[in-house]
């Protein structure tokens, strides 16, 4: 899908939830957008970046490329080989095919972990989130930060979403833990968990991981970015 977008095709991204709910997004060119076209909260978040950067789920590399141009040493990782190919074609010097599960770097390798585009969601569920936050702690420097974007799942009037959250709680899952897959033309991903959390839930998840919230950057709707600092 990203490759088609990179080649200038009109695309439609379909998100399918495991309760049958669908969302469709026509031509999401945000993947290739320039800094001037980013939401205000994303531009504000870039002010907190420091040192050597790990861009988790870098996609087509828009954040990595911006930071590289600003003089930062950036490594973009993504589990999609085509996404990494696009990053390199667009000029990103350091990009690697890697999933979060296979995250492996030396201690103190990074000063900033970037999780933009809602990528706090990649942490999946409570148990996985705590495990991966522990990994981030091991590979980052003493004063490192995580810059993570997500949405507060409770800020909705959509009855289908509210019913799904209630079902999650009955099953012992977090309210904003959605099981989804992505469709594009004839291609469909495997099912995977995507985690959305309130600010209070984020603080709870961070307990015992060696991280704490420094501040939040609000979008004015359900979206926000957390600036998370290492203890």
* Section 95-108 average pLDDT: 96
pLDDT, position 230: 97
In a domain, 44, yes or no: yes
In a domain, 92, yes or no: yes
In a domain, 186, yes or no: no
In a domain, 29, yes or no: no
Host domain of residue 201:
37-180+193-230
Total domains in the fold of the chain:
1
Greater pLDDT, 2 or 27: 2
pLDDT, position 111: 98
pLDDT category at 28 given cuts 50, 70, 90 is: low
In a domain, 212, yes or no: yes
* Section 28-35 average pLDDT: 86
In a domain, 114, yes or no: yes
Tell me how far apart the alpha carbons of residues 73 and 220 are, in angstroms, rounded to a whole number: 31
128-182 pLDDT, tens digit each? 999 999 999 999 999 999 999 999 999 999 999 999 999 999 999 999 999 999 9
pTM above 0.75, yes or no: yes
CATH of the domain at 95: 3.40.50.150
49-86 pLDDT, tens digit each? 999 999 999 999 999 999 999 999 999 999 999 999 99
The full 3-state SS of the chain, as one line of letters, equals CHHHHHCCCCCEEEEEECCCCEEEEECCHHHHCCHHHCCHHHHHHHHHCCCEEEEECCCCCHHHHHHHHCCCEEEEEECCHHHHHHHHHCCCCCEEECCHHHCCCCCCCEEEEEECCCHHHHHCCHHHHHHHHHHHHHHEEEEEEEEEEEECCCCCCCHHHHHHHHHHHHCCCCCCEEEEEEEECCEECCCEEEECCCHHHHHHHHCCCCEEEEEEEECCCCEEEEEEEEC
In a domain, 172, yes or no: yes
In a domain, 15, yes or no: no
């Amino acid at each position: 899908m990203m490759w088609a977008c990179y080649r200038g095709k009109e695309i439609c991204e379909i998100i399918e939830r495991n309760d049958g709910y669908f969302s469709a997004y026509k031509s999401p060119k945000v993947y290739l957008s320039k800094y001037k076209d980013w939401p205000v909260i994303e531009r504000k978040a870039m002010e907190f970046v420091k040192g050597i950067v790990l861009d988790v789920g870098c996609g087509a590399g828009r954040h990595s490329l911006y930071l590289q141009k600003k003089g930062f040493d950036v490594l973009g990782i993504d589990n999609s080989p085509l996404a990494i190919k696009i990053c390199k074609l667009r000029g990103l010097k350091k990009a690697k095919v890697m999933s979060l599960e296979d995250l492996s770097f030396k201690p103190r390798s990074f000063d900033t972990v970037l999780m933009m585009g809602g990528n706090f969601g990649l942490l999946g569920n409570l148990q996985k989130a705590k495990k991966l936050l522990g990994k981030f702690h091991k590979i980052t420097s003493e004063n490192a930060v995580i810059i993570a974007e997500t949405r507060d799942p409770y800020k909705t009037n959509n009855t289908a979403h509210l019913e799904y959250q209630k079902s999650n709680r009955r099953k012992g899952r977090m309210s904003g833990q959605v099981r989804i897959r992505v469709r594009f033309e004839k291609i469909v991903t495997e099912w995977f968990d995507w985690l959305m959390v309130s600010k209070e839930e984020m603080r709870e998840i961070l307990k015992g991981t060696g991280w704490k919230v420094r501040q939040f950057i609000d979008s004015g709707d359900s979206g926000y970015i957390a600036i998370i600092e290492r203890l």
